[in-house]
Amino acid sequence: MKVTAKAIFAILFFGALLSCETANKKLPVLGRPQLIEKVIDGQTKTDTIAHTINDFKFLNQDSAWVTNDTFIDKIYVADFFFTSCPSICPIMKSQLIRIYDEFENEDRLKLVSYSIDPEYDTVVVLRDYADALGVSSHRWHFLTGDKNEIYELGEISYMVAAAEDAESPGGFLHSGAFLLVDSQRRMRGVYDGTVPDQVDVLIADIRILLAENDPK
C-alpha cells in the first residue's frame, strides 16, 4: 500500500512539474505565413515560411545606416512616431524609456523608432530629440528616410497604420503600437504603447524571447 501511495504521489508530483513546463509561455509568430511548394526528389512538398520584416535601409540619429543586418542576433521593439507629435508620442516615448531603463545591461535588446514625418525629422532633429531623451544610439535608433518607404514598411512588414492625415493632431495618423521582433526578423508581439499595463506584458515577453534565444 505504501508503495502505491508513494507512486501516486510521485506521478502527481511529476505531473504537476510537467504542467508547469507546458504552462511556460511561448510567444506566437505573428503574420500570415507564406506557403511555398517545393519539388524534392520528384515529390511536391509545401513549406511554411513565416511573415518577416522586409529589407529596409534608413539613417539613424548618428547619420549611420540601419538595416535588418543591424539586428543580427538581437531582438528589438519598434514603433512609429514623429518628433513634433502632440498626441500619443510623448506617452509612447515615456513607456519606451521604461523598457530602455529596465534592460539597461541587455545588449541583445534594441529599440527602433521610425519617423513618419521624415521630411521634418532629419538626422539633426532626431539627434536633438534623442539627446533630449538622454538615450544612446547604441541601444535606441531613431530612423529617417524616404517617407513612402517608411509607410510601406509600416503597413506591410509591421502591419501598423502610418499615413499623412490632415484630420489627425499634428497632421499624421499613426498607431500607438509597440512591435516585438525576434532575431529572425519575425514579429512576435504587438502591444499598445500608450497603456502601461500592456507595456508590463511586453517587458515580460522580452524576457521570454531573450530566453528563447539563449543557447541551451
For 70, how many CA atoms within 13 A lie in the half-sphere containing its CB?
24
Site map (CB under 8 A) of another protein, residues 47-86, x = contact: ------------------------------------xx-x
> Does 97 participate in binding another protein (rule CB under 8 A)?
yes
> Does 134 participate in binding another protein (rule CB under 8 A)?
yes
Q: Which of 29, 170, 173, 210 binds another protein (CB under 8 A)?
A: 170
Residue (of 74, 53, 66) closest to 159 by Cα position: 53
Grid coordinates representing 6 are 508513494
Q: Which residue stretch of 41-49, 128-136, 179-187, 203-211 sits at the interface with another protein (rule: CB under 8 A)?
A: 128-136
Provide, rounded to whole angstroms, the least separation between the CB of residue 152 and another protein: 28
- Looking at residue 171, the DSSP 8-state letter turns out to be G
Please give the single-letter amino acid code of residue 203. I
> Does 90 participate in binding another protein (rule CB under 8 A)?
yes
Q: Which of 52, 68, 70, 94 binds another protein (CB under 8 A)?
A: 94
Instruction: Kindly tell me the sign of the dihedral angle through the C-alpha atoms of 204, 205, 210, 214.
Output: positive
**How many residues sit close enough to another protein to count as binding (CB under 8 A)?**
17
> Does 173 participate in binding another protein (rule CB under 8 A)?
no
In sequence order, the β-bridge partners of residue 190 are: 179
Provide, rounded to whole angstroms, the least separation between the CB of residue 128 and another protein: 8
Nearer to another protein, 83 or 157 (CB): 83
Q: Which residue stretch of 24-32, 35-43, 124-132, 150-158 sits at the interface with another protein (rule: CB under 8 A)?
A: 124-132
Q: Which residue stretch of 37-45, 92-100, 116-124, 140-148 sits at the interface with another protein (rule: CB under 8 A)?
A: 92-100
CB atoms near residue 152 (< 10 Å): 14
Nearer to another protein, 92 or 202 (CB): 92
> Does 196 participate in binding another protein (rule CB under 8 A)?
no
The SS3 of residue 177 is strand
166: exposed, middle or buried (Cβ count in 10 Å: 0-12, 13-18, 19+): exposed
The beta-carbon contacts of 132-138 under 8 Å, at least 24 apart in sequence, are 133/93, 133/97, 135/97, 135/100, 135/111, 137/60, 137/61, 137/62, 137/64
Residues that bind another protein (CB under 8 A): 83-84, 86-88, 90-91, 93-94, 97, 128-129, 131-134, 170
